[in-house]
Amino acid sequence: MNVIKNVKAKKALQDRWNELGIDKMSEVVRDANERYPNMKITKERLSKWISKSTSLSENQVIWLLIRYHIPVSTTIGYPSVDSGGVLKYKVPKYDELEALNMLKSVFPKVTDKAEEIKPIKKTRNGKK
């Protein structure tokens, strides 16, 4: 699976950012740089990836997916069987602690500052 060009990965991230009230790429970049500076995600590269599916590395996209609690495997989301017996993949509700723990297991090299658990500020629609 080419996660860089995967439309579902991009949509899942955009939906998550919308859910969390994140409407500026600078918020995502700031968070990434605080938590894992070696990932080197820039606003320009992130914006270019959103619009053209290029410019971020596979590790950067995987890091973002895990950071925002979107499981990554050969599929996007967790497998689930609906009432009709059809297998579908669903993105779970956001759980910041679980997302951060998953990040530490996949990307173990973190700075002391990045290890601090800081909640995402919700900014849209009067949310925190």
* Confidence at residue 89, expressed as pLDDT on a 0 to 100 scale: 87
Q: Kindly state whether residue 111 falls inside one of the protein's structural domains.
A: yes
Q: Kindly state whether residue 127 falls inside one of the protein's structural domains.
A: no
Q: Which domain holds residue 91?
A: 7-116
What are the tokens at 54? 């290029």
Note the pLDDT tens digit of each residue in 19-63.
999 988 899 999 999 988 888 899 999 999 988 867 898 889 999
Q: Kindly state whether residue 51 falls inside one of the protein's structural domains.
A: yes
Total number of domains constituting the chain = 1
Note the pLDDT tens digit of each residue in 96-125.
999 888 888 877 765 445 455 566 666 655
CA 32 to chain centre: 10
What's the rounded Cα separation, in Å, for the pair 57 and 21?
Answer: 25
Q: Kindly state whether residue 125 falls inside one of the protein's structural domains.
A: no
Q: Kindly state whether residue 46 falls inside one of the protein's structural domains.
A: yes
Q: Kindly state whether residue 62 falls inside one of the protein's structural domains.
A: yes
Q: Kindly state whether residue 122 falls inside one of the protein's structural domains.
A: no
More confident residue, 73 or 110: 73
